[in-house]
């Protein structure tokens, strides 16, 4: 069993304190996600960090509410904005996102209809149980948000590889362009 954590005060600016694990996702970790495979392969030469996830030291266990701050660096791959891998919670568990800095969006997909929630500092995005979710940086500065989720939610990444996310988010003349796929 996971040892209990005490009540705590967590602060953040660029970092989260006290901090738990920090996860770094590079371009090479995003295989099979961008539509333009040639552009993705070309980007592997530099293999930039696409996003980082800093977590609080709260265990992923039933009854707990872990938090994490994701920072998605700006950029595009063949016109498609930098984004997270995306996942669905294997258990029916909701999640809350709060926009902290930069601009982006929360893409939701229940396997049937995709939904797009534009995110900016102060926006709360709600992910109901049963909806896969991915975050996208649609601006030219880092997009950062806080996530809070039930500790027993789990993460299924293969679901997104199998089912997609309903939309691709591309850079358009008048802002983000949602292209069905």
Burial bucket for residue 45 (CB in 10 Å: 0-12, 13-18, 19+): exposed
Q: Closer CB to ligand PA5, residue 70 or residue 138?
A: 70
Binding status of residue 95 toward ligand PA5 by CB under 6 A = yes
Applying CB under 6 A, the span of 9-17, 82-90, 117-125, 168-176 interacting with ligand PA5 comes to 82-90
CA 34, chain centre distance (Å)? 15
The one among 56, 68, 137, 138 contacting ligand PA5 by CB under 6 A: 68
Applying CB under 6 A, the span of 31-39, 56-64, 85-93, 100-108 interacting with ligand PA5 comes to 85-93
**Rounded Cα gap, residues 173 and 181, in angstroms:** 20
Q: Closer CB to ligand PA5, residue 147 or residue 170?
A: 147
Q: Closer CB to ligand PA5, residue 76 or residue 82?
A: 82
Binding status of residue 71 toward ligand PA5 by CB under 6 A = no
Residue 138 touches which of ligand PA5, Ni ion, none (Cβ within 5-8 Å per kind): none
Binding status of residue 138 toward ligand PA5 by CB under 6 A = no
Of 81, 85, 65, nearest to 73 by C-alpha is 81
Q: Closer CB to Ni ion, residue 40 or residue 97?
A: 97
Q: How far is the CB of 40 from ligand PA5 (least distance, A)?
A: 16
Binding status of residue 137 toward ligand PA5 by CB under 6 A = no
Which residues contact ligand PA5 by CB under 6 A?
53, 68, 70, 84-87, 95, 133, 135, 147, 149, 155
């Amino acid at each position: 069993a996971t040892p209990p954590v005490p009540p705590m005060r967590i602060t953040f600016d660029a970092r989260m304190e006290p901090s738990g694990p920090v996860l770094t996702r590079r371009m090479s970790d995003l295989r099979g996600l961008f539509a333009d495979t040639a552009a993705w392969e070309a980007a592997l030469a530099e293999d930039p960090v696409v996003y980082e996830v800093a977590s609080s030291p709260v265990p992923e266990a039933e009854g707990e509410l872990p938090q994490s701050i994701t920072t998605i660096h700006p950029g595009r791959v063949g016109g498609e904005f930098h984004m997270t891998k995306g996942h669905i919670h294997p258990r029916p568990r909701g999640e809350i996102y709060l926009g902290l800095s930069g601009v982006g969006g929360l893409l939701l997909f229940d396997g049937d209809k995709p939904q797009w929630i534009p995110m900016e500092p102060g926006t709360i995005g709600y992910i109901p149980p049963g909806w896969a979710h991915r975050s996208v940086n649609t601006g030219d500065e880092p997009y950062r948000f806080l996530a809070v989720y039930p500790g027993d939610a789990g993460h299924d990444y293969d679901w997104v590889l199998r089912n997609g996310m309903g939309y691709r988010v591309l850079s358009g003349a008048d802002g983000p362009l949602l292209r069905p796929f």
